[in-house]
Amino acid sequence: MTKTIKIDVLTLIGIIIIISSLIVGTIAYYNYNNRQCINNPVAYANNNSNNYWWDVVEPIKYSDLFERGG
């Protein structure tokens, strides 16, 4: 005996649209978060500091690194 499953074409199209929109939405969400981090990593780290061990991040000033003190 062969079992057959009957499904309406509109239902199939609806399922495909829902699944594809979930996939595209997930990709867009993660790309948005990555874009925020790439554009301004200091602000991203400060805004998401609850996820990390530091409280505040400050950019490194290279002039302070090579400054010669007395």
Residue 49: is its pLDDT beyond 70? no
Residue 70: is its pLDDT beyond 60? no
**For all residues of the chain together, what is the average pLDDT?**
78
Q: What angle do CA 33, 37, 40 make, to 5 degrees?
A: 135
Residue 53: is its pLDDT beyond 70? no
How many Å apart are CA 52 and CA 39, to the nearest integer? 19
- Give the residue extent of every domain in the chain: 8-48
Q: Are 59 and 42 in contact (CB under 8 A)?
A: yes
How many Å apart are CA 48 and CA 36, to the nearest integer? 11
* 3-class secondary structure, 69: coil
